[in-house]
Amino acid sequence: MNRVVITGMGAVTPLGNDVETYFKNLFASKVGINKITKFDAEPTGITVAGEVKNFDPMKRLPKKIARRNDDFCNYAMYSASEAMEMAGLNENNLKPEDLGVIYGSGIGGLTTIQEQIIKMHDKGPKRVSPLFVPDSIINMAAGDIAIQFHALNTSQGIVTACSSGTNAIGNAFEYIKNGKAQAMITGGTEASVNEIGISGFAALTALSKSTDPLKASLPFDKNRNGFVLGEGAGTLVLENYDHAQKRGANILAEIVGYGTTSDAYHMTAPDPDGKGAIRAMQQAVDESGASPQDVDYINAHGTATADNDSAEAKAIKAVFAGNDHVKVSSTKSMTGHLLGAAGAIEAVAVVGAIQKNQMPVNVGISHQDEECPVNLVTEENKKAPVNLAISNSFGFGGHNAVIAIKGVN
């Protein structure tokens, strides 16, 4: 079995459109949630979201491609460009047949779907764009990235709702671990801050109706009232440790475990006892060769919905009962919930925590819910060594995914 390391990262987020800016704002506890500007959201009853700001895809992508694509593909390709540049991989040091892509998205080209259905309704079926299907299907993020970097190994799109990004990273990890590829471009992307996206989640009563961006996403708080929709993408370049070492790569961290389970309980609600989450976390820790007592930080799924946060907190307490130092935070308090991209930008955040020995704060907490008895990261305790961490993602349909990441000395 091969060791699997991270040699590149890219990010397009509500906190910044590159890793450096994302980290600067994330570790300064900035909130990237603002009033919705992409459309008139007032009729939906929802006023805030974690929008990507000042995004110019043509800084990294050809004009023709940037203008053709749905934002979910542009976010993916843009962050993949940053990650591959950071990794320093090219055809001089890696055969195309040894490079693959496994990339996730929960919904795909929802803006394209919305626009083309309106066009068909208003102007008739002959006016539907020939790019409607390729611009909207979820696997096109993986396909476009593979074309972009001439990746001739596997190319897969992963769809497990809000677990998509983490499942993609975990599956890519297994691909390299089992010797099927030397390097993988992996992560998740989402661009669903639009009328139908907001309206759909609002109809589920899943979204926060708060008009104050600083009080809208409140994971683990007694006054939490739903999640805030976010958008963006996160990309990791994973590489066989021996291959990375041989070419003198800058190794950022190592993925050491992956757990994935199903609740088989409900379409949208998690198992209230967190049984699937417990097994997924235990699997990831077990594969790492460590014990639950060794974990320093947990980047929680922490959506700020009543059911998720209490079930996840119970699961964390069950797995880490003997660990008196592990700290927990949900970075969704700053970014909102990026759905299929959430696990990807949160994996990037975990690598940042390991590199900086500083954990992202669980921002906005004023009254921690007694139903969520976890040791949250605060401004006071955020600076501490992070040697081993896990990142949790739990999706509609009962999908659970957890990855374990550690520092490399």
pLDDT at 184 over 90: yes
**In a 10 Å sphere around its CB, with 0-12 CB exposed, 13-18 middle and 19+ buried, how is residue 45 labelled?**
exposed
What CATH code is carried by the domain that includes residue 95? 3.40.47.10
Mean pLDDT computed over 228-235: 98
Mean pLDDT computed over 93-105: 98
As for how many domains the chain has, the answer is 1
Percent of the chain whose pLDDT exceeds 70: 100
pLDDT at 61 over 90: yes
d(CA 251, CA 8): 8
Mean pLDDT computed over 220-239: 97
Mean pLDDT computed over 92-99: 97
Q: What is the pLDDT of residues 287-317, one digit of tens each?
A: 999 999 999 999 999 999 999 999 999 999 9
Give me the pLDDT at residue 25, please. 98
3-state secondary structure the chain: CCCEEEEEEEEEECCECCHHHHHHHHCCCCCCCEECCCCCCHHHCCCEEECCCCCCHHHCCCHHHHHHCCHHHHHHHHHHHHHHHHHCCCCCCCCHHHEEEEEECCCCCHHHHHHHHHHHHHHCHHHCCCCHHHHHCCCHHHHHHHHHHCCCCCEEEECECECHHHHHHHHHHHHHHCCCCCEEEEEEEECCCCHHHHHHHHHCCCECCCCCHHHCCCCCECCCCCECEECEEEEEEEEEHHHHHHCCCCCCEEEEEEEEEECCCCCCCCCCCCHHHHHHHHHHHHHHCCCHHHCCEEECCCCCCHHHHHHHHHHHHHHCCCCCCCEEECCHHHHCECHHHHHHHHHHHHHHHHHHCECCCCCCCCCECCCCCCCECCCCCCECCCCEEEEEEEECCCEEEEEEEECCC
Judge whether 162 counts as a catalytic residue. Answer: yes
What range does the domain containing 147 cover? Answer: 1-409
Q: What is the pLDDT of residues 350-391, one digit of tens each?
A: 999 999 999 999 999 999 999 999 999 999 999 999 999 999
Cβ atoms 210, 225 nearer than 8 A: yes
pLDDT at 32 over 90: yes
Q: What is the pLDDT of residues 106-159, one digit of tens each?
A: 999 999 999 999 999 999 999 999 999 999 999 999 999 999 999 999 999 999
Give me the pLDDT at residue 346, please. 98
d(CA 223, CA 201): 20
Residue 27 — pLDDT band, cuts 50, 70, 90? very high
Give me the pLDDT at residue 286, please. 98
pLDDT at 409 over 90: no
Rg (CA), the chain: 20
Residue of 9, 101, 162, 176 marked active site: 162
Q: 218's torsion region: left (phi>0), alpha (psi -120 to 50) or beta?
A: beta
Nearest CA to 372 out of 305, 323, 276 is that of: 305
